[in-house]
Structure 1
Amino acid sequence: MIRNIFSAVLLSAALISCQSSQSETEVAENTEVPQATDENGEWKQLFNGKTITGWHTYGKNTVGQAWKAQDGTLYLDPNAGEGTGGDLVTDEEYEDFHLKLDWKVAKNGNSGIIFYVKEDPAKYQNTYNTGLEMQVLDNEGHPDAKIVKHRAGDLYDLVTGTPENVKPAGEWNQVEIISKDGRLKLIQNGTQVVDTTLWDDNWKAMIAGSKFADMPDWGTFKSGKIALQDHGDEVWYRNIMIKEL
């Protein structure tokens, strides 16, 4: 009898151990990190850290020597020589999208992330003649920081980004631009700083009161290219990814 009881105890213990191991396996499988995808599409790299494939200088078919793939970043060297820079634009256009990237700028530096750019150099000389801009700036050193709506994280010349949470020159900032169905959100270092509506009457009124008032097509396009601005200062971009929404 004792022997039978002992055998039964051992069998029960083995069953409990097996069930426990199975449960742990199921938990491990269920806690797998999901991929960054949704029903609308997948994240796409716009810069692989090694080449500038997928980009070109606005109005041209190539990229000048001022823009370099360097140490995993897309770097603008303002000393590369006259005529070697210019704004970079994507080869493709985007409509509703979620863009993510990191940027840092040199002391006193200025640049910008411009989107909904209509590339037609015969009609529009620059990317900013049509595209909206999320400002990239050294707020502590560049003169533009003294102008309202011209500081890092602002929707340039239209909406002040709040709260102001940009990091000092030389440090990386992580930003996101989300545009879907006419609603635009700008996120800087994990915090939403701008939330506005595009193309309605209020949008038109904002443009009428801005420096873009004399550009009839500015801010009107609902699809376009994404640009990184050459403002003549050192700037670095990395981890550039987009998801079409």
Structure 2
Amino acid sequence: MKSKKLVYIPILLIYMVACSSNEPREGETADIPAESHEKALNALTMAEKDEGWELLFDGESTQGWHNYLEEGITGWKVEGGILYTEGGNGDIVTDKEFENFEFKLDWKIQDQGNSGVFYYVREAPKYLRIHHTGPEYQIIDDDNYPQKLMDNQKTGAISDLKAGSAIPSKVPGVWNHTRILAHDGHVEHWFNGDKVAEAEMDSSEWKELVANSKFAAFEYGKVLKGNIGLQDHGNPVAFRNIKIRVL
């Protein structure tokens, strides 16, 4: 455990310096939405309020979240308006369940990082991991991950199920933007403003994809209501501007 901290803490110090400012860094302006730079972090614009958006992260606390299958949160931290984990602290899920929704957040990983956003997670002791039930929006270092990745394991994919479009990911160390639309079984994954994957969860195609995946033995993707989860895959990852709009 001590050696792990010696590796992660200096990196996270760099994280927090970069995260503490709303100003864009060099090379960060291409695809990141303007709101990440020009509007207050973890706040709703008047337009978002009118559209029914709500914050799932207040920028100051972990209120509204808990470790999967536990009460409260341990290990995850909030600093400078950023929700982050150094790795090894377990996945977290929302206290609330959601059915039809539009969801968005900003995220940042480091070199060789791996994380993800889950939805329709069914939280029960018989489901030991959030990926046993909830589909995942993959977040990963496509180019430098230490294992060879299949297309359905790259950023924006419905993880291990359906590949996303071949859109180059931004390098680790800069903010990226994720949007997930889920409505009556239709799901869309958006990455830095582009739709990269979609599926119908009640379709024969979906059932075939699940049957031929590592999720075949689980009750995976069988319900259209559940918690939203953020993954701690053992690597540092940071999140901000976590928002949802119930449809």
Bin of the TM-score, shorter chain as denominator length: 0.7 to 0.9
1:108 aligned partner: 112
**In the TM superposition, what is the alpha-carbon distance from 1:202 to its structure 2 partner?**
1.5
1:80-91 alignment to 2 at 5 Å? 85-91=89-95
- Alpha carbons of structure 1 residues 223 and 144: separation in structure 2 relative to 1, 3 Å: farther
CA, structure 1 residues 112+96, in 2 after alignment: closer, same or farther (shift >3 Å)?
A: same
Q: Which residue of 2 aligns with 1:36?
A: 48
Identity, in percent, stands at 38
Q: Distance in 1 between matches of 2:159 and 2:148?
A: 11
TM-superposed CA distance for 1:147, in Å, is 2.3
C-alpha displacement of 1:200? 1.8
Q: Any conservation in 2 of the 1:153–1:188 contact (CA below 8 Å)?
A: yes
User: Which of the residues 93, 110, 131 maps onto 1:128?
Assistant: 131
TM-score, scaled to structure 1: 0.79
Give the letter aligned to residue 193 of structure 1: V
TM-score (norm 2): 0.79
The answer to whether the 8 A contact 1:46-1:242 is kept is: yes
Q: Report the equivalent of 1:219.
A: 221
Alpha-carbon spacing, 1:179–1:143, altered in 2? closer, same or farther (3 Å): same
Match of 2:60 among 47, 50, 53: 50
The whole-number CA distance in structure 1 between the counterparts of 2:222 and 2:46 is: 37
- Structure 2 counterpart SS, 1:35: helix
Native 8 Å contact 1:165 1:188 kept in 2: no
Write out per-residue CA displacement over residues 192-229 of structure 1, whole angstroms, 9 at most, x where no aligned residue.
001211122221111111111111x1110110000000
Instruction: Give the 5 Å matches for 1:1-245.
Output: 35-36=47-48, 42-64=52-74, 66-78=75-87, 85-121=89-125, 123-144=126-147, 146-215=149-218, 217-245=219-247
Shift of 1:62: 1.2
Cα deviation digits, residues 93-141 of structure 1 (max 9, x gap): 00000000001101111111011000002x1001111000000111121
- Counting matched residue pairs gives 203
Alpha-carbon offset, residue 73 of structure 1: 0.9
Q: Are the counterparts in 1 of residues 151 and 164 from structure 2 also a CA contact under 8 Å?
A: no
**Deviation per residue, 1:41-95 (Å, 9 max, x gap):** 610100011100000000111101x2101111111112xxx6xx11000000000
CA distance in 2, matches of 1:159, 1:241: 25
Task: Give the letter for the 1:107 counterpart.
Answer: D
Distance 1:203 1:146 in 2: 21
Residue ranges of structure 1 left out of the alignment (5+ in a row): 1-32
CA distance in structure 2 between the aligned counterparts of 1:231 and 1:71, rounded to whole angstroms: 22
CA RMSD of aligned residues (A): 1.5
Partner AA of 2:105 in structure 1? L
* Number of the residue aligned with 1:23: none
After superposing on structure 2, the runs of 4+ consecutive aligned residues of structure 1 that deviate more than 3 Å are none
Q: Secondary structure at the match of 1:53?
A: coil
- Return closer, same or farther for 1:145/1:102 CA change in 2, 3 Å cut-off: farther
Tell which structure's C-alpha radius of gyration is larger: 1
User: Which residue identity is paired with 1:74?
Assistant: L
Counterpart CA distance in 2 for 1:145 and 1:153 is: 17
Q: Quick one: which amino acid aligns to residue 104 of structure 1?
A: K
